[in-house]
């Protein structure tokens, strides 16, 4: 029995999950969401288990909803200086940390074919630091973007076999209904997303699972 193990369930985030895995030899993570009925049933059970198994197993919980995000973009942009008729390459660095006024529902458990759920009304507040050469010039700008409530915004389409760099998994294909902007894949075996494909009018993002650390 290890008395250094906590006797209660503590919330963790993606940025400290790896530290918990390295710190505790026996770790159970309960992935939950506020709109998930079964999660509300499992929550009190894990609270009791954390007390009963104190010193033997560590219990943590992680919210599957998006609360905030951050990003850093580096690259070269073209700058025109009038009246010179050519554009000059200019190195930039943009750092952003966005807060959501409400949680963003990536999933609605239990997942099954042709399940639908809503996107809530929300504001995304993004303070951005726009940096110039070597990051010495930093200009703070704050953007606020409002999104209206969208009923039946997302749907769980089907379970298919998906191959990513880390391996092949049976995963639920989830997509946005309006505009086909979001498409992502949730693998129950992994307990998280394994592939993301975002196509917005002004840009997009793709990502996939490269390796597991457990």
Contact 29, 62 (CB under 8 A): yes
Contact 32, 63 (CB under 8 A): yes
Distance CA 154, CA 78 (A): 37
Task: Catalogue the E-assigned strands of 51-202.
Answer: 58-63, 66-80, 87-104, 115-119, 122-131, 138-147, 150-164, 167-176, 182-187, 192-200
Q: Are β-strands 58-63 and 27-32 bridged in parallel, bridged antiparallel, or unpaired?
A: parallel
Query: What phi and psi values does residue 170 have, to the nearest 5 degrees?
Result: -80, 125
Report the catalytic residues: 36, 39
Q: In sequence order, what DSSP letters do the residues of 117-155 get, joined into one string?
A: EEE--EEEEEEEEEE-GGG--EEEEEEEEEE--EEEEEE
């Amino acid at each position: 029995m290890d008395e250094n193990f906590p006797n209660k369930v503590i919330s963790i985030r993606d940025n400290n999950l790896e530290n918990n895995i390295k710190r505790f030899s026996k770790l159970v993570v309960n992935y939950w969401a506020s709109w998930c009925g079964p999660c509300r049933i499992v929550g009190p059970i894990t609270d009791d288990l954390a007390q009963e198994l104190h010193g033997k197993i560590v219990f943590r919980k992680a919210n599957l909803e998006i609360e905030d995000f951050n990003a850093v973009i580096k690259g070269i942009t073209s700058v025109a200086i009038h009246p010179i008729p050519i554009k000059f390459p200019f190195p930039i660095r943009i750092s952003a940390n966005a807060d959501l006024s409400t949680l963003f529902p990536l999933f609605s458990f239990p997942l099954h074919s042709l399940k639908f759920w809503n996107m809530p009304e929300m504001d995304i507040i993004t303070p951005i630091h726009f940096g110039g050469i070597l990051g010495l010039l930093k200009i703070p700008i704050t953007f606020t973007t409002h999104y209206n409530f969208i009923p039946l915004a997302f749907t769980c389409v089907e379970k298919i076999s998906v191959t990513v760099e880390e391996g092949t998994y049976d995963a639920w294909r989830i997509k946005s209904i309006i505009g086909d902007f979001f498409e992502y894949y949730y693998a129950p075996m992994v307990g998280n997303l394994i592939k993301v494909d975002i196509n917005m009018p002004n840009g997009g993002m793709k990502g996939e699972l490269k390796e597991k650390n457990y």
